[in-house]
């Protein structure tokens, strides 16, 4: 079994890769830059880890990634759209520039859409393939100091529904995982703030999530445990989604 994971060199993507490797998958990881963690994985899982440098905001890079997978494997089993960026600087929505907006949405939203579109022919070759889109609790939670990020993640929710509706006839299921507050490089700068909020009860499960928490959800989907589901959302967020009085 083979999986392609975008944004797979660190954070959530790396956590997903580790869980899939434990479950016997071969993984193709893409990212704008390679990390030392990839070298460690390659050493531990010899012949099971491949890295392709890819900026998914660049359609040419996406096509290069697709070509690699096609030439190496012909078809594959699982696409995990994980690549994403946060704003370079958090700004009030009244101050965001078009350049700020484009930087985030070109990768998170446009990139996710076209990675999915370009990989569909290879997924169709499988007959029972799966796509997992990693969005965020920000897809429905307004943060006015990073509005472009929220918009991009809300868009991924619709990408999930669109491709789920379009690809069901080909045996391809499409699911969305919405991570909550996950301990990664992206949240490192605001870790103290989030830990305080968690201690005060913003999530019923009082800890930050870990990349492997998301990885375990993906591994369960990859194992076929959700094959009667498509267009479905899995909230992996410590219970943040619960409305309490």
- CATH number of the domain bearing residue 191: 3.40.50.720
140 lies in a domain?
yes
245 lies in a domain?
no
pLDDT band at 185 (very low <50, low <70, confident <90, very high): confident
242 lies in a domain?
no
pLDDT value at position 213? 98
Give per-residue pLDDT as tens, 188-209: 777 888 899 999 999 999 999 9
Strands 49-53 and 78-81: unpaired
Q: How far apart are CA 118 and CA 100, in angstroms?
A: 26
pLDDT value at position 192? 86
The candidate with the shortest Cα–Cα distance to 55, out of 112, 101, 97, is 112
Q: How many domains is the chain partitioned into structurally?
A: 1
pLDDT band at 187 (very low <50, low <70, confident <90, very high): confident
Structural domain harbouring 6: 2-236
Beta carbons within 8 Å of 173's beta carbon, 6+ residues apart: 129, 130, 131, 164, 167, 226, 227, 229, 230
167 lies in a domain?
yes
pLDDT value at position 127? 83
Residue of 45, 140, 149, 194 with catalytic role: 149
pLDDT value at position 191? 81
244 lies in a domain?
no
Annotated active-site residue 170? The verdict is no
Q: 201: left (phi > 0), else alpha (psi -120 to 50), else beta?
A: left
Give per-residue pLDDT as tens, 57-82: 999 999 999 999 999 999 999 999 99
Q: What angle do CA 4, 25, 15 make, to 5 degrees?
A: 70
Give this prediction's pTM: 0.94
241 lies in a domain?
no
pLDDT value at position 188? 74
Give per-residue pLDDT as tens, 96-113: 999 999 999 999 999 999
């Amino acid at each position: 079994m083979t999986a392609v994971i975008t944004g797979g060199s660190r954070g959530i993507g790396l956590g997903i890769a580790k869980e899939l490797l434990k479950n016997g998958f071969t993984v193709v990881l893409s990212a704008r830059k390679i990390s030392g963690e990839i070298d460690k994985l390659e050493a531990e899982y010899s012949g099971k880890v491949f890295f392709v440098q890819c900026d998914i905001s660049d359609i040419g890079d996406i096509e290069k990634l697709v070509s690699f997978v096609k030439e190496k494997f012909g078809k594959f089993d699982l696409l995990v759209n994980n690549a994403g960026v946060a704003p370079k600087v958090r700004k009030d929505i009244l101050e965001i520039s078009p350049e700020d907006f484009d930087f985030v949405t070109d990768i998170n939203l446009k990139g996710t859409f076209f990675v999915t579109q370009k990989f569909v022919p290879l997924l169709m070759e499988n007959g029972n393939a799966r796509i997992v889109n990693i969005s965020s609790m920000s897809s429905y939670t307004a943060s006015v100091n990073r509005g472009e990020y929220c918009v991009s993640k809300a868009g991924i929710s619709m990408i999930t529904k669109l491709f789920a509706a379009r690809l069901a006839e080909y045996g391809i299921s499409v699911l969305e995982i919405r991570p909550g507050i996950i301990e990664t490089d992206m949240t490192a700068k605001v870790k103290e703030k989030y830990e305080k909020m968690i201690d005060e009860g913003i999530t019923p499960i009082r800890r930050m999530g870990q990349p492997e928490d998301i990885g375990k959800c993906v591994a369960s989907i990859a194992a076929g445990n959700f094959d009667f589901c498509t267009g479905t959302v899995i909230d992996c967020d410590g219970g943040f989604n619960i409305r309490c009085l």
